[in-house]
């Protein structure tokens, strides 16, 4: 799955370009860098690869989400609808700008249930944030229609779905803005990094400025830049951007390999009685980074996950018990364990949604296992893995049926 699996000479060459100049910062020092601008070059590659007008590369996917929300004018008291299944960064970013993460149920796409989104809208709702989990996409037509109907912002968290498409368009380019994460285990990596994608020049300017202490980046002397806004330091380094530049040029290869290996595993599992698969709104646009499937019951899923681990078959995620990706285990959020003191009204609202019951999501996630797909497998290794997983699933289901 992650791009680091195919780290090689291309990445070393781009990094060495930077090391030769000694200029590791993305801004300034024009004469000394000898024309080497890796962050700018990566941004150009992103716009070309994904078909957006503008991209700003930053220090992380979390930074990208925070920047996008700030630039979109989302802040104090605004409600942002998001799914119960996501990485913790999604709600962290919402809380960081003073807004309220309104958690709603998912469906078998493992992303936002459009019906649950519509039911959650209040006069304070300002945005809907689908999270394209595990390499696939949300139901973007339905979500976009809801946003248009209620005059809401569609902000895509595409951090786990770099390279996915929906009806021919790259995810992350369909809403008002989209975000990518380039951390070490993403489909392509900078080691650490992220990006905001948009086709709005005004929004891009705000993201560009906010990510660098409010610098307007319009003059030749960085020290004389004007500052139309207060900002923060969410800059990426040239070294990290250099890694990403090599990786983005391999992205199509990564996705092709993932899709091939994903299909091999799917073919091994498709005839296992009782197994069903994640609903993918546009199967042609799936990256293939995970194959997600459902067992008939929670007990079967738990047993299968344990037996896969005991057999030494790694990379199978039982999200229902995962500390980082599903609401059920976010005790720090549910207990209000914030390091900084939140305004009391925000705190109350955050705690309200964090401690609601989400039985529809539980019913889905408790039966789900996501099996990650490696870029390094040979066809034989993928087939062997698929056969082993299928054998364990058959055995678990057969035993459970007998015991019933």
> Do 25 and 106 reside in the same domain of the chain?
yes
State which residues form the domain around 101: 3-251
Strands 165-166 and 100-104: unpaired
Instruction: Report residue 351 as tokens.
Output: 């705690």
Per-residue pLDDT tens listing for the chain (404 residues): 789 999 999 999 999 999 999 999 999 999 999 999 999 999 999 999 999 999 999 999 999 999 999 999 999 999 999 999 999 999 999 999 999 999 999 999 999 999 999 999 999 999 999 999 999 999 999 999 999 999 999 999 999 999 999 999 999 999 999 999 999 999 999 999 999 999 999 999 999 999 999 999 998 888 889 999 999 999 999 999 999 999 999 999 999 999 999 999 999 999 999 999 999 999 999 999 999 999 999 999 999 999 999 999 999 999 999 988 999 999 999 999 999 999 999 999 999 999 999 999 999 999 999 999 999 999 999 999 999 999 999 999 998 876 65
DSSP 133: G
- Looking up tokens 């092709």 gives 256
Which contiguous run of DSSP H or E holds residue 29? none
In angstroms, rounded to a whole number, what is the distance separating the alpha carbons of residues 82 and 330?
15
Domain stops at, among 251, 266, 293:
251
Reference 233, options 216, 219, 215; nearest CA is 215
- Looking up tokens 């069903």 gives 276
> Do 378 and 350 reside in the same domain of the chain?
yes
In angstroms, rounded to a whole number, what is the distance separating the alpha carbons of residues 250 and 242?
13
CB 64 within 8 A of CB 181: yes
Domain stops at, among 221, 251, 281:
251
CB 375 within 8 A of CB 6: yes
* Number of structural domains in the chain: 2
In angstroms, rounded to a whole number, what is the distance separating the alpha carbons of residues 300 and 298?
5
> Do 242 and 381 reside in the same domain of the chain?
no
Q: Is 96 exposed, middle or buried (0-12, 13-18, 19+ CB in 10 A)?
A: middle
Which contiguous run of DSSP H or E holds residue 38? helix 38-50
In angstroms, rounded to a whole number, what is the distance separating the alpha carbons of residues 142 and 111?
12
The helix/strand/coil state of 7 is coil
Where residue 280 sits, what CATH number does that domain have?
3.90.1150.10
> Do 316 and 382 reside in the same domain of the chain?
yes
DSSP 327: G
Strands 194-198 and 177-181: antiparallel
Task: Give the model's pLDDT for residue 1.
Answer: 76
> Do 18 and 100 reside in the same domain of the chain?
yes
Where residue 170 sits, what CATH number does that domain have?
3.40.640.10
Reference 261, options 166, 95, 96, 382; nearest CA is 382
> Do 366 and 320 reside in the same domain of the chain?
yes
> Do 222 and 343 reside in the same domain of the chain?
no
Q: Is the pTM of this model over 0.85?
A: yes
The helix/strand/coil state of 179 is strand
> Do 215 and 93 reside in the same domain of the chain?
yes
**List of E strands, 98-206:** 100-104, 125-128, 153-157, 165-166, 169-170, 177-181, 194-198
> Do 234 and 99 reside in the same domain of the chain?
yes
CB 103 within 8 A of CB 131: no
Instruction: Give 252-281 as a DSSP string.
Output: HHHHHHHHHHHHHHHHHHTTSTT-EE---S
């Amino acid at each position: 799955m992650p791009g680091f699996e195919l780290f090689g000479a291309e990445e070393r060459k781009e990094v060495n370009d930077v090391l030769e100049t000694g200029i590791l910062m993305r801004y300034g020092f024009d004469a000394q860098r000898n024309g080497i601008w890796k962050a700018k070059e990566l941004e150009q590659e992103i716009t070309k690869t994904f078909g957006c007008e503008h991209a700003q590369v930053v220090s992380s996917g979390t930074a990208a989400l925070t920047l996008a929300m700030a630039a979109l004018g989302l802040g104090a008291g605004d409600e942002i609808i998001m799914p119960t299944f996501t990485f913790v960064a999604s709600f962290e970013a919402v809380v960081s700008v003073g807004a309220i993460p309104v958690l709603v149920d998912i469906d078998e796409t493992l992303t936002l249930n459009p019906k649950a989104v519509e039911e959650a809208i209040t006069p304070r709702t300002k945005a809907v944030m689908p999270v394209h989990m595990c390499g696939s996409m949300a139901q973007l037509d339905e979500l976009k229609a809801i946003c248009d109907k209620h005059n809401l912002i569609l902000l895509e968290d595409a951090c786990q779905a770099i390279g996915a498409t929906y009806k021919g368009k790259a995810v992350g380019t369909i809403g008002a803005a989209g975000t990518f994460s380039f951390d070490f285990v993403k489909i392509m990596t900078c080691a650490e990094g992220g990006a905001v994608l948009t086709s709005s020049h005004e929004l891009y300017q705000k993201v560009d400025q906010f990510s660098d202490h409010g610098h307007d980046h319009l003059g030749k002397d960085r020290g004389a830049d004007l500052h139309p806004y207060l900002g923060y330091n969410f800059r990426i380094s040239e070294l990290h951007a250099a890694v990403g530049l090599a990786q983005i040029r391999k992205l199509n290869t990564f996705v092709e390999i993932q899709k091939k290996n994903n299909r091999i595993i799917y073919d091994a599992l498709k005839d296992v009685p009782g197994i069903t698969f994640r609903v993918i709104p546009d199967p042609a646009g799936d990256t293939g980074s995970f194959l997600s499937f459902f067992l008939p019951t929670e007990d079967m899923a738990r047993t299968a996950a344990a037996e896969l681990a005991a057999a030494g078959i790694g990379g199978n995620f039982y999200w229902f018990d995962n500390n980082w990706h599903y609401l059920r285990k976010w005790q720090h959020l549910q207990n209000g364990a914030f390091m900084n003191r939140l305004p009391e009204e925000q705190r109350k609202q955050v705690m309200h949604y964090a401690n609601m019951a989400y039985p529809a999501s539980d019913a889905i996630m408790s039966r789900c296992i996501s099996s990650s797909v490696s870029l390094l497998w040979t066809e034989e290794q993928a087939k062997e893995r698929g056969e082993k997983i299928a054998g364990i699933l058959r055995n678990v289901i057969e035993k459970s049926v007998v015991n019933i």
